[in-house]
Amino acid sequence: MALTITENNGILLVEGTINTTTVKNLKSHCETLLRTCGEATIDIQQIAYIDVNGLLALRELYEYAKQTHTAFFIVGDGCKEIYDEFRLAA
């Protein structure tokens, strides 16, 4: 399944699969928002699957936001693996 990213009121609505082939596109969108707006919010409600590369990319975005003193949020009920990754790493 492909990855679809749409923006609604400053929130990136991400739908599909975050994997090796789609992660570059997601990182690019988020990094652009972090640089231009000072924050990025990702809604993962519609994520069907995320692989280890997707989890690593989200971790990298989180670290980038910390280093640049910008806000990075992940919202939604989708994809429990994402929340587990961040909870275990804390």
What is the pTM (predicted TM-score) of this model? 0.81
Starting at the edge strand found earlier in the chain, the sheet holding 39-50 runs: 3-8, 11-18, 39-50, 71-75
pLDDT at 1 (0 to 100): 67
Question: Which sequence spans correspond to the domains of the chain?
Answer: 3-89
pLDDT at 27 (0 to 100): 94
Amino acid occupying residue 52: V
pLDDT at 9 (0 to 100): 84
Q: Per residue in 29-85, pLDDT tens? A: 899 989 999 999 999 899 988 899 999 999 999 999 999 999 999 898 766 667 676
Pick the CATH number of 3-89 from 3.30.750.24, 3.30.420.40, 3.40.50.300, 3.10.150.10: 3.30.750.24
Residue 14 contacts residue 44 (beta carbons within 8 Å): yes
Burial (CB < 10 A; 0-12, 13-18, 19+), residue 80, is exposed
pLDDT at 78 (0 to 100): 67
